[in-house]
Amino acid sequence: MEQIKKALNESAAMRWGILILTGLILSVNYYFYDAFSTLKDLLMIEFGFSNTDYGLFVSFYSIPNTFLLMAVIGGVVLDKLGIRRTGFMFVFFMAFGAMLTAYGASSYYSNGGFGHGLMSSFLPGYSPELKMMLLGRFFYGLGAETSIVVVSKILVKWFKGKDLALAFGLKVGFGRLGTFAALQLSPVIADGGAGLNNAIWFAAVLVLAGLLAFMVYMLLDAKLDSQLQQKDEKKEPKKFKVSNIGKLLANPAYLFIALLCLTFYSAVFPFNAFAPDLLYHKFGMSYKLSGQITSLMPLGTMIFTPIFGSLIDRKGKAATAMIYGALALLIVHLTFTFTMIPPYLPMILLGIAFSLVPAAMWPSMVKLVDENEIGSAYGLMYSIQNLGLWGVPILAGYILDATNPGNPETLDYTATMIMFIGLSLLGLVFALMLKRQDKKGNYGIDLPLNKK
């Protein structure tokens, strides 16, 4: 029967418009996550944070997804309840947590505002400001990871069979745009401490804008579902079974991708949180300049990820790309640890590494699972990833304090960087094992995405 109307996802202009809209949600998410990396010393001065406290603050983001398995639960809920209800709930949590974090750092709260007395009544070894900010970081992390899962499923829904790897590459690019903007703007707004509150509130308000953007998407998604129902193309989602999780973990290819995700991201995001401080102490740069240099990583990612995604759509070689990306990350950490090579080139290489692996990893999931189970698959991967994003920042801060007793003005990052080298090496091993398993199991990960 001739179709009277094209569905929205059949319009290229609408698809790319959806990508921009959801990309905004990712950008503000990553802006808030990375806005604090150039504020580390200011937080330590203003609130008396130690290096371990700062590592705890960074890691608290991952607690709900590591110990409460919220990314897994969110992925299951996503497959059962759909994009709109799940997405709104978790993007709301993300915005609420960001606002709560900013409130905990505000002068109003520090001067005895609502909740200050309660936070002062327990765990006296931690400041009331840190405890409120940890609570906010908890809610922010609870919503942020599942919101990324939601965006991933949105892209599969709108782009499957239509430049999916390019769409995922641009998705990563939008996230890195948020990181780039945070590293550039956050220290400028903070103005050496005079505008610290303004820098944090600005980041929180951006996340609130992301919630509004998702509400706009909900209207378009409802219209698309209505069109698909009229065309009898909307499939009823399968009922989730606990055995689905076991089935995923029993798939060797999925397991190696998940382990690569764990080690690779643990060697990138926590490193990025400490990188401006590393450049400040190792190379004697100002925090403004060190933030600008650190921003070369997301800048490189914005440029290269869409290029690599487009190549993977047309030429394939996703498993091979993950090997090259993991190897490049290992070279970056070896360079930062054992040489005095100016940090510009290693940061650019880090951007290339962080383009190759995500551009290949995330769209490869469609080769391993059914579309109506994609939320559960991504959610489980994000929970595994968050195990590293929780533990590694705490360990990095602890190593810094332990190897620099007395908190000298010039911190020695060697021991901390050796930890990142170890994580990078493990990531390379898992990438090689994935390549071997792809050949053995005939999953087709190295084939172009339009081939089975």
Please tell me the predicted confidence (pLDDT) of residue 152.
86
Instruction: Note the pLDDT of residue 232.
Output: 58
- Please give the model's pTM, rounded to 2 decimal places: 0.76
Q: How far apart are CA 27 and CA 31, in angstroms?
A: 6
Please count the other Cβ atoms lying within 10 Å of the Cβ belonging to residue 365.
20
Q: How far, in Å, CA of 176 to CA of 163, rounded?
A: 20
Tokens of 384: 């595994």
Is residue 270 pLDDT above 50, yes or no? yes
Q: What percent of the chain is modeled with pLDDT above 90?
A: 34
Section 150-178 average pLDDT: 84
- Pick from 318, 373, 377: nearest CA to 164: 318
* pLDDT value, residue 244: 66
8 Å CB contact between 226 and 82: no
Query: Sorting pLDDT into bands at 50, 70 and 90, what band is 327?
Result: very high
Categorize the per-residue pLDDT at 374 as very low, low, confident or very high, splitting at 50, 70 and 90. Answer: confident
Task: Give the number of residues written for the chain.
Answer: 452
CA 139 to chain CA mean position, Å = 15
pLDDT for 119 beyond 80? yes
pLDDT number for residue 101 = 94
Give the span between the Cα atoms of 35 and 136, in whole angstroms: 15
| Amino acid (one-letter) located at 358 | P
Mean pLDDT of 222-247: 66
- DSSP tally for the chain: helices H, then strands E: 20, 0
Where does the pLDDT of residue 424 fall: very low under 50, low under 70, confident under 90, or very high at 90 and above?
very high
Q: Is the pLDDT of residue 4 over 70?
A: no
Handedness of CA 91, 93, 97, 99 (dihedral sign): positive
Token pair of 91, please?
A: 């993007």
Q: Which domains does the chain have, with CATH numbers?
A: 10-441 (1.20.1250.20)
